[in-house]
Amino acid sequence: MPSERLSKFLSNSGIASRRKCDNIIKSGRVKVNNIIILEPFYKVLPDTDKVTIDNHIVKPLLKTIYLALYKPLNIISDLVSEKSRHNARSLISIKTYLFPVGRLDYNSEGLILFTNDGNFANKIMHPKYGIEKEYLVKFKGVITDELLLKVRKGLLIEGSEYRVKSIIFIKTSFFNSWYRIILDEGKNRMIRKIGIKIKHPVLKLKRIRIGPVRLGNLKPGEYRALTDIEKNLFLHMYKPKSFKETLKV
Give the single-character DSSP code of 58: P
Enumerate the β-bridge partners of residue 204.
Answer: 138
Catalytic residue positions?
Answer: 105
CB atoms within 10 A of CB 244: 7
How far, CA to CA in Å, does 153 sit from each of 20, 31, 162? 32, 48, 9
pLDDT at 249 over 50: no
Domains of the chain: 4-57 (3.10.290.10), 66-128+212-243 (3.30.70.580), 132-210 (3.30.2350.10)
List, for residues 203-237, the tens digit of each pLDDT value.
999 999 999 999 999 999 999 999 999 988 887 76
Q: Report whether 246 contacts 159 (CB < 8 A).
A: no
Sequence letter at residue 137: V
pTM: 0.74
List, for residues 170-200, the tens digit of each pLDDT value.
999 778 999 999 998 878 899 999 999 999 9
Phi, psi of 93 (to 5 degrees): -85, -10
d(CA 86, CA 78): 9
pLDDT at 79 over 80: no
List, for residues 142-163, the tens digit of each pLDDT value.
999 999 999 999 999 998 999 9
Q: Which helix (H) or strand (E) holds 194?
A: helix 190-197
